[in-house]
Structure 1
Amino acid sequence: MDEPSQPTPPTPVYVLAAHPNLRESRVNRRLQEAARSLPGVDLNDLYTSSADYEFDVPREQARCEAAQLLVLLHPIQWYSMPALMKLWFDEVLTFGWAYGSGTALRGKDLWLVASTGGSEASYHPQDYNRYFFDAFLPPYEQTAALCGLRFLPPMVLFGAHRASEQDIAGHVAVFRERLASYPHWPEMDELADCPTCEVPAFDRPLGRGA
């Protein structure tokens, strides 16, 4: 008699979340709760775990190594990520581990899940944000490329401050479904591999100063 097939374990995911005022959040708080509810998802709320601006770098690197999908979950602030997440990048993605001679992240995926206060229409050359939203993505895309990560199409909720309850609930449901079904997304086969970025060792001195 055939043995019953065992369920396939979920692909490990590391969600790096940053919201300076999570209690007041209408969107990110619920996205974090959805991520926490899923098996195989490791979530780190930076403004709770690293409120002193200190990181356990070896532990953070181990969490990244254990995951196949790295998720950046945050509101857009000044056209970028919150300050504590930027500090995490500075401290954790070290030369010789994440890029350069280091290949710890190569072959993994990076997914940006962001929310904005401004509407989608405001990200337009004729409106106050002056650029389409995609114009603010190159720092994310190139960081991914430098580390050998494939940058997946971002998931963005525009106008989060005024979004209806129905819109927020739908956004959270899609996010949860995407995490649960990764890597079996319909568009995966159409995505290009990550470009190769060779960084000469002499471009990165041993010290911190330039």
Structure 2
Amino acid sequence: MKKTLIVVAHPNIENSVVNQRWINELKKYPDQFTVHELYKAYPDGRINIESEQRLVEQHESLVLQFPIYWFNCPPMLKQWLDEVFLYGWAYGSTGDKVKNKKMAVAVTAGIGLADYMTNGRYKFTLEEVLRPFEITIKYVGAEYIPHFAFYGAEHNPSKEVINENAEAYVKYLARLTCSEPATNN
């Protein structure tokens, strides 16, 4: 069975509505998804590099899940990328551990989709904001899958909208392994 590792980086997951809902939906499919919450795994900020590398190696594909945080990722995810994606492991002449893996980012944005338009409030699309992740993924030889997003998280979205989005997230992730998630009956 092909399995996807979801690396969740949310510094305040207890107060997150959308990221928590995504995690709960993913946990319905333990045979397909491993949910790995960085801030819970490393409350002291000291990442076990070898353990993280083994975890990545054990999975067919990888998703970085996080809230947009000052138009970037939360600090622990940046630290994780810096410390885990090392020369000789992730890239370089002998670094091939993520080569050809499918990789994606799944993000929650506090502001609405209209704000992430070239004519919107911030003048940049979410694709442009996430470009460093796309470049990083391609740099290590992985296959970049365009992002998945929830827009308007800070505008008190309805439970129905959040639930529909969580279900759509699982369907999106099924593309990474080219298999549909098992029904949860």
TM-score by structure 1 length?
0.79
Report % sequence identity: 28
Contact 2:114-2:121 at 8 Å conserved across structures = no
Verify: 1:58 aligned to 2:55, yes or no. no
User: 1:130 is aligned with what amino acid?
Assistant: K
1:60-79 equivalence runs, <5 A = 60-79=52-71
Match of 1:171 among 143, 165, 171: 165
Verify: 1:128 aligned to 2:121, yes or no. yes
How much does 1:59 deviate?
A: 1.0
TM-score by structure 2 length?
0.89
Structure having the larger proportion of residues in strand: 2
Going from structure 1 to structure 2, the CA distance change for 1:99 and 1:41 (only over 3 Å counts) comes to: same
RMSD after superposition = 1.7
1:4-19 equivalence runs, <5 A = 9=1, 11-19=2-10
SS of 1:153's partner is strand
> Deviations for 1:166-204, whole angstroms, at most 9, x for unmatched residues?
111101011123335642279xxxxxxxxxxxxxxxxxx
Verify: 1:107 aligned to 2:100, yes or no. yes
User: For residue 40 of structure 2, what is the aligned residue in structure 1?
Assistant: 48
Alpha-carbon distance in structure 2 between the residues aligned to 1:41 and 1:124 = 32
User: For residue 183 of structure 2, what is the aligned residue in structure 1?
Assistant: none
SS of 2:104's partner is strand
How much does 1:51 deviate?
A: 1.2
Q: How many residues align?
A: 177
SS of 1:111's partner is strand
Alpha-carbon distance in structure 2 between the residues aligned to 1:132 and 1:48 = 31
1:78-117 equivalence runs, <5 A = 78-101=70-93, 102-117=95-110
> Higher Cα Rg: structure 1 or 2?
1
Unaligned ranges ≥5, structure 2: 181-185
Unaligned ranges ≥5, structure 1: 1-8, 187-210
